[in-house]
Amino acid sequence: MEQNNRKAWLYLLPAMLFLGVFLVYPLIDVCVYSLEEGYNFASQTYWGLGLYNYAYVLRDPYFLQALKNTFILVIITVPVSTGLALLISLGLSSIRRLQELYQTIYFLPYVTNTLAVGLVFMILFKQTPYTDGLVNQVLSWFGAGPIDFIDGPYWAKMLVLCVYTVWVVMPFKILILTGALASVDRTYYNAAKVDGTPGWRIFTRITLPMISPTVFYLVITGFIGAFKAYSDVVALFGTDLNAAGMNTIVGYIYDMLYGTSGGYPSYASAAAIVLFAIVLTITCVNLLVSKKHVHY
């Protein structure tokens, strides 16, 4: 086969140009930024190189708050959404009638605008002078007092955020898990059935091990996604997340970059690299754990 080097590079040129300018160069640049101390956005000057930006970010109470919020969000939503998605996918793959209808409905949140639907959740949970909101109405039937979920106590806000996050990430997980369940050879189930295996045992001994690679894939992508939570938080609590005490790491990065608190790309870069390091660590840990438990 003849080599046509020049032509090939010509075909690749546009892609390399775009990726180079907007992906590779920024990647290097962000590392440089994060080390430039006292960078001034207006004059584009700095007075030294060092780790000061990291030290600043890691001591910034806003960043620590964001870190805490993000970790709580991750630790609650990833297991809950994965478990729930598993349950629903199992149900979904055990039925035939209406299966497609349910599948279509379940996927709907994936294609809708996170900001827009977030507003609906806000309305459902929000207390205003005119109404306590629908959720509080339901709570009152059980004798629970009205709670301001949007501007009220921290745990209430976190609860709304978790509920909304789970709602948003479920479509992807259900889709992937239903696919994985469908790819398990039916004869395994027939074999187990002939042997009189009870349902829960079929699940724990056959189904779960067979789809374990997919489950781990979802856990890893779930962790990554949840660590990057931002737009759903904005949808619920507005753009001034620090004031609401609901900022996330990504939110902190953008706040450092832009808006009233912005103009500090160095701090933003340092925070972004800290985020990247956390995500990378968690992913590696996940991969190590999965190596141990996914056997075949």
Partner 1 sequence: MKVTLQNLTKEYPGRGRKQPQTVAAVKDFSFEIPDGELVGLLGPSGCGKSTTLNLLSGLQKPTSGRIFFGDDDVTELPAESRGVGLVFQNYALYPHLTVRQNITFPLENRKGRDKLTRQQMADMAMEAAGLVQIQDLMDRKPAELSGGQQQRVAIARALVKMPRILLLDEPLSNLDARLRLQTREEIRRIQRSTGITTVFVTHDQEEAMSISDRIVVMDRGVIQQTGKPQQVYDDPDNLFVAKFLGTPPINVFDGRVRGERLYIGDEAVLPVPGIADQDVTAAIRPEGFLPGPGGAFTCQFRGMEVMGRDVSILSCHSSAQTPVIRSIVSAGTAAAPEAGMIRFDLKPGKVFLFHRDTGARLRF
Partner 2 sequence: MDYETLKKNARHRRRAGKALTYCLLTVWALVVLFPFYWMVLTSVKSYGAYNSEWIPQLYTLEPTLENYVQAFTTVPLAGYFINTVIFALATTALMLLVTIPAAFAFARLQFRGRDVVFTLFLSLMMIPSELVVITNYVTITDLDLRNSFPGLILPSVASVFYIYLLKENFAQIPDELYYAAKVDGTSDLKYLLKVMIPICKPTIITITILKIIECWNSYVWPRLITDDQAYYLVSNGIQEIRENGFGRENTPAMMAAVVAVCLPLVILFLIFRRKIMAGVARGGVKG
Footprint of partner 2 on residues 16-35 (CB under 8 A)? Answer: 16, 18-19, 21-27, 29-30, 33
Task: State which of positions 202-221 bind partner 2 (CB under 8 A).
Answer: 221
CA dihedral for 62, 270, 229, 235, sign (positive or negative): positive
Of 168 and 211, the one with the shorter C-beta distance to partner 1 is 211
CA dihedral for 245, 251, 257, 258, sign (positive or negative): negative
Assess 142 for contact with partner 1 (CB under 8 A). Answer: no
Among residues 90, 119, 210, 278, the one that binds partner 1 under rule CB under 8 A: 210
Assess 203 for contact with partner 1 (CB under 8 A). Answer: no
Scanning 70-78, 145-153, 168-176, 285-293 for contacts with partner 2 by CB under 8 A, the matching segment is 168-176
Among residues 196, 200, 288, 292, the one that binds partner 1 under rule CB under 8 A: 196
Of 183 and 281, the one with the shorter C-beta distance to partner 1 is 183
Which listed option, partner 1, partner 2, none, makes contact with residue 64 (CB within 5 to 8 Å by class)? Answer: none
Assess 182 for contact with partner 1 (CB under 8 A). Answer: no
Phi, psi (5° rounding) for residue 45? -120, 160
Among residues 117, 192, 224, 282, the one that binds partner 1 under rule CB under 8 A: 192
- Stated length of the chain: 296
Assess 276 for contact with partner 2 (CB under 8 A). Answer: yes
Q: Do the beta carbons of residue 208 and residue 86 sit within 8 Å?
A: no
Assess 176 for contact with partner 2 (CB under 8 A). Answer: yes
Assess 189 for contact with partner 2 (CB under 8 A). Answer: no
Task: State which of positions 83-102 bind partner 2 (CB under 8 A).
Answer: 87-88, 91-92, 94-95, 98, 102
Contact code string over 62-81 relative to partner 2, x by CB under 8 A = --------------------
Those residues with Cβ within 8 angstroms of residue 79's Cβ, 6 or more apart along the chain or in another chain: none
Scanning 58-66, 75-83, 150-158, 254-262 for contacts with partner 2 by CB under 8 A, the matching segment is 254-262
